[in-house]
């Protein structure tokens, strides 16, 4: 069973998809410039094993296109938002996981509210050794989404003419192409000037209950 809808956190709508059902809950967050579609294959595997899996969109991905200040986009702020999503969905405790930025955010949430986290399932978090490379790549991306905004907007307009789909690969491509350039630029600015990843001391302090 796949359920798709939105949840409101701090006045902003976040899209999500739910796979499976039951008391064992996993919440997955995606990488930057993607969407919940990135986690669907992972979610289906877990759902087949008896888990209720929620693939959650990050702020500014698909559901709510209002512009936001860059300071809303750093790993700590998004970690707080992830806890807010648990509250809004009525989830007391869950395994948190994700890919790249989504993995970083899951660790931040675990540090903020360890009593809400049953475990962590992380794929490719970028930490101390990867932040330099990420900074260069995101700086290049920021240039594209600012100086190249008209072209990015045009590509997005064409992509939006195609209907939404639940096919994971096509859905992922569509969400990538239709991401509002102003949102993408704000996200990159927030990550570049704010906290991109939880520091080592924060990660070592994470002690989710068994």
pLDDT at 172: 64
Q: What is the pLDDT of residue 48?
A: 95
Does any domain span residue 210? no
Q: What pLDDT, on the 0 to 100 scale, is given for residue 85?
A: 95
Whole-angstrom distance, CA of residue 148 vs CA of residue 142: 9
Q: What is the mean pLDDT of residues 56-77?
A: 73
According to the model, what pLDDT value does residue 163 have? 74
pLDDT grade for 152, boundaries at 50, 70 and 90: low
Q: Is residue 3 very low, low, confident or very high in pLDDT (cuts 50, 70, 90)?
A: low
Boundaries of domain holding 159: 2-205
For CA atoms 10, 56, 205, 209, give the dihedral sign.
Answer: positive
Q: How many helices (H) and strands (E) does the chain have?
A: 8, 6
CATH of the domain at 72: 3.40.50.1820
């192409």: which residue's tokens? 177
Q: Is residue 28 part of a domain?
A: yes
Overall domain count for the chain: 1
Residue whose token pair is 């990660």:
203
Contact between 173 and 51 under an 8 Å Cβ cutoff? The reply is no
pLDDT in tens, 153-170: 677 677 677 776 666 666
What integer best gives the mean pLDDT of the chain? 81
**Which pair of tokens denotes residue 19?**
């796979």
Two structure tokens written together for 148 = 């190249």
**Per-residue pLDDT, 2:** 47
């Amino acid at each position: 069973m796949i359920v798709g809808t939105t949840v409101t956190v701090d006045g902003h709508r976040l899209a999500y998809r739910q796979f499976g059902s039951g008391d064992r809950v996993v919440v997955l967050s995606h990488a930057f410039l993607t969407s919940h579609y990135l986690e669907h294959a992972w979610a289906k595997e877990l759902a087949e094993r008896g888990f209720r899996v929620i693939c959650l969109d990050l702020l500014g991905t698909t559901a709510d296109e209002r512009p936001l200040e860059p300071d809303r986009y750093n790993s700590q702020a998004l970690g707080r938002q992830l806890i807010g999503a648990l509250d809004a969905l009525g989830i007391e405790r869950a395994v948190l996981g994700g890919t790249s930025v989504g993995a970083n955010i899951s660790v931040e949430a675990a540090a903020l509210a360890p009593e809400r986290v049953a475990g962590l399932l992380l794929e490719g978090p970028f930490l101390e050794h990867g932040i330099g490379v990420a900074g260069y790549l995101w700086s290049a991306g920021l240039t594209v989404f600012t100086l190249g905004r008209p072209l990015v907007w045009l590509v997005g307009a064409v992509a939006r003419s195609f209907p939404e789909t639940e096919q994971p690969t096509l859905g992922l491509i569509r969400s990538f192409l239709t991401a509002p350039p102003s949102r993408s630029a704000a996200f990159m600015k927030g990550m570049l000037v704010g906290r991109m990843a939880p520091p080592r001391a924060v990660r070592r302090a994470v002690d989710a209950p068994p």
